[in-house]
Amino acid sequence: MDNLIDILSNAKSIAVIGASNKVGRPGYTIMKNLIDGKFEGVIYPINPREEEILGIKAFRNLRDIPSNSIDICIIAIAAHKVPSILKECCEKHAKLAIIISAGFSEVGNRDLEKEILSIAKDCGIRILGPNTAGLMYIPSKLFASIETTPLSGDIAFIAQSGALASIFIEILRQRNLGLSLYLGLGNRIDIDEVDALELALRDSATKSIAMYLEGFKRGREFLKLALEAIEFKPITLLLGGRSRAGSRAIQSHTASLALDTAMVIDILKQYGICVVDTLEDLANVSYAIPRLEPVNGKKVCILTNSGGPSVLATDYIEMMDLEVPELSDSIRNELRKFLPSIAILNNPIDMTAEADYERVYNSLKTLASCRDCDYIVFIYIPTASSPWRDVIDALSDISKEHRNVIAYVGGEDSERMVLELEKRDIPVVTTLKSIATTIRCSYIRAKNIKKVQQYRSLF
């Protein structure tokens, strides 16, 4: 069978079975996404009742298509019709079938799944789904999905939920961030989390991998790949079905088996995989962690111009089993040289509301260079006496020299500040909790990178 990245990179023709002119139908959304995404190959809409679909000539069935081969078939019809259509895809030498159709093992119809898997194995076609939202491979302008089209970016998103994919894409869009690829796993009768992870690892546009999974089909192979990724592509995972009721829910969602969650999370951490609790954390960590130097240390220093947020951040950081240590006298004396006399030189360090370029830059530089701080958190709330553009310039300049600084900005103009920080490729998160989560993930990653490097040095 062909490798997945080769199929997606070289796709020249796509057939959409169930293509439609009716807004709201899956076949309409898929066609619109392919057209709006400017897919550079040939699109063959299949619909026996239409002459054209969105301006493109339609065909009654696959056999009517003049070409002897089709690279990808997208199937969006009733579940019971899928086996016969899949056989026609095989006749056209298709390399990949994306089965959007639902009504398989998630509702107890396992025999139908077995039938289509048997057909696929006989002819050598790969299957994504069934019950999938599709895939989007941005480098090839291939938007073969029923989901919202994302902006182009460097995060790969792999998920067992189309609805969560839509939410995740929108969270990123609000921050002007995007994806390098999206793959909806569905019921995973063939292509699974291991194939998807391998695709993301081989994709040159991907810097960070975000995943939503409800279980593991090939756990050992997944961990082996994760170990290969640890040094150059961080993996952030949101795991569904952790509660008793949640584990019941995944049975009717994607027919996944329940997990011993605590044990699984512990194993994942040992392989450098960051497990998070919310979609917001998933977005924040996936963006920030590849831009943050993985430091094998737990000491966090906080610099702020506002007391309250830093108190909450300190709580979150210590809840994550990280440390907010007291500063040495030498560091305090150095900070006194450029901070006002009323500044609080504990940890957190409160510069007071009068934060400017010089104070921010010199304070961050002092902290980034000292042994008391493995990671530095900068929390900034703009005030009338503190011009935020100057502050961002200082943060940008220090980030060019030290990659262990992560930022949180809030209050008025926070959205504009976040966009500006991201434009400059600076690690920034949008919640105080995500500060702690990101640093914890970076620390775990650094610790496991060191283990891998020590292991390799023995052989």
Question: Does residue 459 sit within a domain?
Answer: no
Question: Does residue 175 sit within a domain?
Answer: yes
* 340 and 249 fall within a common domain: no
* 156 and 277 fall within a common domain: yes
Is 430 within 8 Å of 176 (Cβ atoms)? no
Strand, coil or helix: 2: coil
* 121 and 160 fall within a common domain: no
What percentage of the chain reaches a pLDDT higher than 90?
83
Mean pLDDT (whole number) for 237-259: 59
Domain that holds residue 15: 4-134
d(CA 147, CA 29): 8
Q: Which residue, 96, 85, 91, 98, is CA-closest to 126?
A: 96
Question: Does residue 453 sit within a domain?
Answer: no
Question: Does residue 402 sit within a domain?
Answer: yes
Supply the DSSP symbol for 302.
E
Residue 430, phi then psi, degrees to nearest 5: -110, 0
Q: Write down the pLDDT at residue 353.
A: 83
pLDDT at 147 exceeding the cut of 60: yes
CATH number at residue 130: 3.40.50.720
* 284 and 363 fall within a common domain: no
Residues 6+ apart with CB under 8 A from 260: none
**Mean pLDDT estimate for the chain:** 93
Strand, coil or helix: 339: coil
* 186 and 169 fall within a common domain: yes
Mean pLDDT (whole number) for 189-203: 97
* 278 and 315 fall within a common domain: no
Specify the number of domains making up the chain. Answer: 3
Give me the count of residues in the chain: 459
Q: How confident is the model at residue 3 (pLDDT cuts 50, 70, 90)?
A: confident
d(CA 123, CA 146): 27
* 272 and 322 fall within a common domain: no
Could you tell me the sign of the dihedral formed by the alpha carbons of 127, 107, 31, 194, in that order? negative
pLDDT at 256 exceeding the cut of 80: no
* 306 and 404 fall within a common domain: yes
Question: Does residue 455 sit within a domain?
Answer: no
Angle value at C-alpha 406, between 404 and 407, nearest 5 degrees: 155
Is 313 within 8 Å of 435 (Cβ atoms)? yes
pLDDT at 384 exceeding the cut of 80: no
* 413 and 304 fall within a common domain: yes
Q: Which of 70, 104, 134 is the last residue of a domain?
A: 134
Structure token digits, residue 237? 């995972």
Question: Does residue 69 sit within a domain?
Answer: yes
Question: Does residue 454 sit within a domain?
Answer: no
Q: Write down the pLDDT at residue 253.
A: 45
* 50 and 99 fall within a common domain: yes
Q: Before 340, cis peptide (omega within 30)?
A: no
* 223 and 175 fall within a common domain: yes
Q: Write down the pLDDT at residue 105.
A: 84
Give the model confidence (pLDDT) of 265-288 as tens digits.
888 998 999 999 999 999 999 999
CATH number at residue 341: 3.40.50.261
d(CA 128, CA 135): 9
Q: Which of 291, 317, 345 is the last residue of a domain?
A: 291
Q: Distances in Å between the alpha carbon of 135 and those of 49, 96, 138, 141, 346?
A: 27, 11, 10, 11, 50
d(CA 89, CA 74): 10
